[in-house]
Structure 1
Amino acid sequence: MKDTAKHQGRRNQLVSLLQEKGITDKNVLEAIRKIPRHLFLNSSFEEYAYQDTAFQITAGQTISQPYTVAFQSQLLEIKKDHKILEIGTGSGYQTAVLCMMGAKVFSIERQNELFKETSALLPKLGIRPKHLTFGDGYKGLPGFAPFDSIIVTAGAPFIPQPLMAQLKIGGRLVIPLGETVQIMTLLIRINETQFERHELGECKFVPLLEDKN
Structure 2
Amino acid sequence: MTSPGHGTTRMGANTPPTTAGLLICEHCDTVYRRRPLSRGEVACCERCHNILERHARLGPDQLLALTFTAMVVFVQANIWPIVTLELNGRPSSATLWGTIVTMWQQHAEVVAVLAALTLFFFPMAKMLLFGWVFWFARRGERGPGFRSAMIVLHYLGPWTMSEVFVLGAMVAIVKARVYFQVVPDPGIFAYGALMLLITVFGTVDLRQLWDVTRERSR
Which TM-score band (shorter chain)?
Answer: under 0.3
| More helix, by proportion | 2
Greater relative contact order structure (CA < 8 Å, 6+ sep): 2
| More strand, by proportion | 1
Give the TM-score taking structure 2 as reference length.
0.25
Give the TM-score taking structure 1 as reference length.
0.25
